[in-house]
Amino acid sequence: MSGLRRFLCVLAILALVLASLTWIPRVSAEETLIVASMKYIKNPNPLKEETWYDWWLNLVMYDRLFREGPDLEPHPWLCSWYERSQDGLVWLFRIVENAYWHDGNPLTAEDVVFTIEFYRRYKPPSWYPQVEFVERVELVDRYTFRIYLSRFNAWLLRTFGYIIILPKHVWSHVAEVFDDPTYFNPLSPDDVRRVLARIEATEPAEVASRVREFVGRYGHLRIGSGPYMLVRWVEGELLDLVRHPRYFKSGFPRADRLIFKVYATDEAQYLAVKKGDAHIMMWTAPYAVLPEAEADPKLVVPKSPDVYVGFIGFNLRDPITGVKNFRKAVAHALDRGFVVKNLMLGYAEAVYTYVHPGFEFWVNKDVPRYDYNLAEAARLLDEAGFKDVDGDGWREAPDGRKFEVTIYSPEYDPVRVRICDVLVENLAKVGVRARNVPLDFDTMVDYVYNQQKFQIYIIENDANFQPWYYSAFYVEEQAVPGGNNPWGFVNKEFEDLLRKAEGEPDDYRRAELYKRLQAILAEELPILPIYVRYWIQVYRRELAGVVDMPGGALNFWTLINGNFRGIPAELPYTKLERPITTTPPPTTPVATTVTVALTVTAIRTTTAVQTTTVREVVREAYTPPEVVVAAVVAVVLVGVAMYLLGRRSAR
């Protein structure tokens, strides 16, 4: 063999070796996105979504048919197609065919049908209002189901479309073990053992084995289908999640790991982000640190209008706060201007309406305004019989007894604590003795929503300021322990009008009905809107993929886009595609979407360079482009060598 031929043969062999080496798993940096949270979850059970922190965990662990976009509109997610009948009473939905549960079992329409029937049977307050108008549901095929409504619901995609889907192969057995499935703790070893035993005894072997393997690896049964799955939790400290390995949205989530780490105060959250121990705040930054944060080149300080409204709630069952004139007097004793300008340093706006001002089309701007007016507060108290009978400077109740009003505030939020302090001071000026009692948030929620033992409290919420959720709050069936109507607001005129509004297909006529509903709320005053604050979730500049939208920079889209490689954010909505073989609803269906007029902030995205202060090293299989190049070169060289060797043997 000539020297040239030997050289070519050796070169070919080296190329093959190099190509094979590129297939060896490489060591790469795992991207870990750390969110600085204020509180730990209150409810491991997803049926009880009582706090904001429960909501965050459910947001990334459980998927829905639709997801709310940065435009605040519902966009298809698990849903790949939907149709409705002309009368709007029959809806057909098809879901994607490549979704899986965290344990590896496929997600099918049977899971959705089960979830609807499960919510209708057990009526969990967090989810039942979204399915109560479903008269029946039927399975059409593996990925298609149909629902029949008892009445037309114009908000169906915003309510029913947002319910979390449960895995039938788990929750059907939860219901066998627990008479009330809301008592199931999917993180409790004993509860998991009992339910797993039923799964193994009942489910097909392949399904049960996947669940058993999942429990053996992670120790829990909080199995969802969302972009992240829970792998570790430390009570009161952190929730550790990893990317769902079979998530149906290819390339998402961007980060390998998501950690919700608890920092007890907003100051602690900010310092964690500033030092690089966390990447983004869940709560809004303290106003005092904003000048410093804005001057720090390592930080981004977004200012987004919050979707939550700060409000005061009254217990209408209480003999004092149950008096309408007393509630109106309290409303006049609250100085919104002082709150916004002095306590919130202008990073908020006063609110008087019962629909978030961002949903301008639905807002009744003519509801009664309870402006700061102590003289009017005193007049209303006199009129209701609250008078200083014994001349000691404090009013007695109409029955002559002395009283003191208790106001609950969340101790972790200095702004709301101070608002209640000021309210106590102003009430004293009109002869009403009151005291502010700051409480741990979970304790406050328990007193108000579960025990319903309160008089006045202050909180922030979004859903009860969105008209499509009115039936989940301002109705008698929610005025139960654990329900969404802790105020005890029961008003037949309101509920009759609400049912009429929900069944009105014309947007303009429906808007007028909802404006009448807002007028009733403003008159009866179960709650008093106060402010919408700007949500300033400071984050580190190296965090790319941030979607700044109404409600803040931290949201579902940021959590699935967040990365440290400079990849900009995308909104991977599911494209609606009419299936080839789908049984239509009984009446002629028409493809439709419900649209409303909204005033929202445009989406803004942020990109950054690939650096991070929090990383762990793991092994992962990686097939870079150079593999293909090396393989092609090797094949060519081997071919040349074989050709040359072949010519020699033929001579």
Q: How confident is the model over 269-324, as pLDDT tens digits? A: 999 999 999 999 999 999 999 999 999 999 999 998 899 999 999 999 999 999 99
Using pLDDT thresholds of 50, 70 and 90, give the confidence band for residue 581: low
- Judge contact between 535 and 298, C-beta under 8 A: no
The more confident residue out of 263 and 27 is 263
Residue labelled with tokens 């114009």: 154
Angle at 221 between CA 137 and CA 99, to 5 degrees: 50
Among 27-31, 107-111, 326-330, which is the least confidently predicted range?
27-31
pLDDT of residue 579: 87
Q: In Å, how far from its chain's centre is CA 29?
A: 29
pLDDT tens, position by position, 151-184: 888 899 999 999 999 999 999 999 999 999 999 9
Phi, psi of 24, deg, nearest 5 = -70, 135
User: Does the pLDDT value for residue 610 go beyond 50?
Assistant: no
Alpha carbons 38 and 640: distance in angstroms, whole number? 66
Please give the Cα distance from 103 to 398 (Å, whole number).
61
pLDDT band at 266 (very low <50, low <70, confident <90, very high): very high
Q: Which of 51, 37, 59 is nearest to 282 (CA)?
A: 37
Grade residue 599 by pLDDT with cuts at 50, 70 and 90.
Answer: very low
**How far apart are alpha carbons 308 and 326 in whole angstroms?**
26
| H or E segment and range at residue 439 | strand 434-439
Least confident of 430-444, 565-579, 618-632: 618-632
| 231 token code pair | 């792998």
Whole-number pLDDT of residue 347:
92
Cβ neighbour number for residue 452 with a 10 Å cutoff: 19
Residue-wise pLDDT tens digits, 382-431: 999 999 999 999 999 999 999 999 999 999 899 999 999 999 999 999 99
Summary mean pLDDT of the chain:
87
Q: pLDDT tens, 51-103? A: 999 999 999 999 999 999 999 899 999 999 999 999 999 999 999 999 999 99
Characterize 402-433 residue by residue with b for buried, 16 or more Cβ atoms within 10 angstroms of its Cβ, and e for exposed: ebebbbbbbbbbbbbbbbbbbbbebbeebbbe
| CA-wise closest residue to 413 among 438, 447, 393 | 438
**pTM given for the model:** 0.76
